[in-house]
A and B are shown apart, each in its own frame.
Chain A
Amino acid sequence: MNLLEVKSISKTYGEGDTAVHALKKVSFSVPKGEFVAIVGESGSGKSTLLNMIGALDMPSFGKVYIDSKDIFAMKERNLTVFRRRNIGFIFQSFNLVPELTVEQNIIFPVLLDYQKPNRKYLEELLAVLNLQDRRHHLPSRLSGGQQQRVAIGRALITRPALILADEPTGNLDTQNSREVITLLKEASKKYEQTIIMITHSRGIAQKADRILQVSDGELTNLGRCGE
Chain B
Amino acid sequence: MKSYLSLIPISAKVRRRQNRMTLMCIVIAVFLVTTVFSMVEMMMKMETAEMISTHGNWHISLQGISEEVAKQISSRSDVDTIAWSDKINEEAQEDYFVGGSKAALYGVDESWVTNIRDCLEEGLYPQSDNEVMLSTNAKNILGVAIGDAVAVDTPSGSVDYVISGFGEHDPEFNKIYDAITVYMSRRAFSKVCELDDREVSPVYYIRFTTNRGTTNRINEIKEDFGLADESIDENTALLAITGYSSNGYAKALYPLAAVLFVLILLAGIFMISSSMNSNVAERTQFFGMMRCIGMSKKQVTRFVRLEALNWCKTAIPIGIFFGIAATWILCLWLRNGIEGEFTELPLFNVSVIGIILGVAEGILTVFLAAQSPARRAARVSPAMAVSGNVLNAKNIYSTRNLGAVKVETALGISHAMTARKNLFLMTGSFALSIILFLGFSAGLDFAKVLIPSTRSWQPDFTITSDDGACSVEKNLADELGEINGIERVFGNMAAVDVPSVSGKNVSEVTLDSYEEYLFQCAVDSRVDGDFSKVTGDSNYVLTISKPHNPLGIGDKIQVNGTELEIAGTVSEGLFEDDVTLICTEETFEHLMGKSDYAMLNMQVSGSVDKDGLVQSIRSLMSDDYNLADYYNSNKESATEYWAFRLVVYISLSIIVLIAALNIINSTSMSVSARTKQYGAMRAVGMDVRQLTKMIVAEVFTYAVAGCMIGCVLGMILNKMIFEAFITAYFGEMWHVPIGEISIVFLAIFISAVIAVYGPVKRMRNMAIIDTIGDL
Contact = CB atoms under 8 A, between A and B. Distances in A.
B678 to A, nearest CB: 10
Given A80-B686, A80-B687, A101-B398, A95 B769 contact: no
B684 A56 contact: no
B685 A112 contact: yes
Interface in B381-411: 387-389, 391, 393, 396-399, 402, 406-408, 411
Interface in B415-435: 415, 418
B114 to A, nearest CB: 79
B587 interface: no
Interface string B680-699: 11111111111000000000
Contacts of B767: 56-57
Contacts of A130: none
Interface residues of A, number: 38
A44 interface: no
A100 B407 CA distance: 10
B676 interface: yes
A83 B683 CA distance: 8
Given A56-B768, A99-B418, A140-B396, A89 B684 contact: yes
Contact of B774 (A47, A57, A111, A113): A47
B685 A80 contact: yes
Contacts of A51: 769, 775
A3 to B, nearest CB: 19
A81 B687 contact: yes
Contacts of A95: 676-677, 679-680, 683, 772
B510 interface: no
A53 B757 CA distance: 31
A59 interface: no
Interface in A48-92: 50-51, 54, 56-57, 76-77, 80-81, 83-85, 88-89, 91-92
B684 A154 contact: yes
B769 A56 contact: yes
B407 A108 contact: yes
A84 B691 CA distance: 14
B414 interface: yes
B410 to A, nearest CB: 9
Nearest to A136: B398
Given A56-B769, A99-B418, A109 B684 contact: yes
Contact of A138 (B388, B398, B682, B689): B398
Given A112-B686, A114-B406, A99 B396 contact: yes
A80 to B, nearest CB: 4
A101 B681 CA distance: 15
A97 interface: yes
B9 to A, nearest CB: 25
A140 B769 contact: no
A111 B402 contact: yes
Nearest to B768: A56
Contact of B391 (A56, A93, A98): A98
Interface in A116-135: none
A93 B683 CA distance: 14
B685 A104 contact: no
Contacts of B680: 89, 91, 95, 97
Contact of B396 (A56, A88, A98, A109): A98
Contact of A76 (B402, B679, B688): B688
Given A51-B775, A99-B411, A111-B402, A84 B396 contact: no
A89 B396 contact: no
B197 to A, nearest CB: 96
Nearest to A112: B685
A166 interface: yes
Contacts of A54: 683, 775
A162 interface: no
Nearest to A58: B767
Interface in B665-714: 676-677, 679-690
A9 interface: no
A77 B408 CA distance: 16
Contact of B399 (A56, A100, A166): A100
Contacts of B689: 77
A164 B393 CA distance: 28
A186 B688 CA distance: 34
Contact of A89 (B408, B411, B683, B690): B683
A140 B683 CA distance: 21
A224 to B, nearest CB: 25
Contacts of A140: 393, 396
Nearest to B774: A92
A77 B676 CA distance: 20
Contacts of A104: 399, 402
Given A56-B769, A57-B767, A97 B677 contact: yes
B690 A166 contact: no
A13 B350 CA distance: 53
Nearest to A198: B775
B775 A47 contact: yes
Contacts of B768: 56-57
Nearest to B683: A89
A138 B395 CA distance: 12
Nearest to A170: B774
A156 to B, nearest CB: 12
A166 B418 CA distance: 30
Contacts of A113: 685
B396 A57 contact: no
B616 to A, nearest CB: 75
A100 B402 CA distance: 9
Interface string A157-197: 01000001010000000000000000000000000000000
A158 B681 CA distance: 15
A109 B391 CA distance: 22
Contacts of B397: 99
B393 A97 contact: no
B685 A56 contact: no
B775 A77 contact: no
Contact of A97 (B389, B681, B769, B772): B681
Given A56-B683, A56-B769, A112-B686, A138 B396 contact: yes
Interface string B550-586: 0000000000000000000000000000000000000
Contacts of A155: 684
Contacts of A77: 687-689
Contacts of A50: 775
Candidate in A84, A99, A112, A166 with the most chain B CB atoms within 10 angstroms = A99
Contacts of A101: 398-399
B685 A99 contact: no
A76 B689 CA distance: 11
Contacts of B685: 80-81, 83-85, 109, 112-113, 158
Contacts of B681: 97, 108, 112
Contacts of B687: 76-77, 80-81, 112
B267 to A, nearest CB: 32
Nearest to B680: A95
Contacts of A89: 680, 683-684, 775
A92 B769 CA distance: 14
Given A57-B769, A93-B387, A164-B775, A98 B393 contact: yes
Q: Which 7 A-B pairs have the closest CB atoms?
A: A84-B685, A95-B680, A140-B393, A111-B407, A166-B775, A80-B687, A56-B768
Interface of B: 387-389, 391, 393, 396-399, 402, 406-408, 411, 414-415, 418, 676-677, 679-690, 767-769, 772, 774-775
13 contacts: A47-B774, A51-B775, A56-B767, A76-B687, A81-B687, A85-B685, A89-B683, A93-B388, A99-B396, A99-B414, A111-B407, A112-B690, A166-B775
Given A98-B393, A113-B685, 12 more contacts: A50-B775, A56-B768, A80-B686, A81-B687, A83-B683, A85-B685, A95-B680, A99-B414, A104-B402, A108-B681, A111-B402, A166-B774
Interface of A: 47, 50-51, 54, 56-57, 76-77, 80-81, 83-85, 88-89, 91-93, 95, 97-101, 104, 108-109, 111-114, 138, 140, 154-155, 158, 164, 166
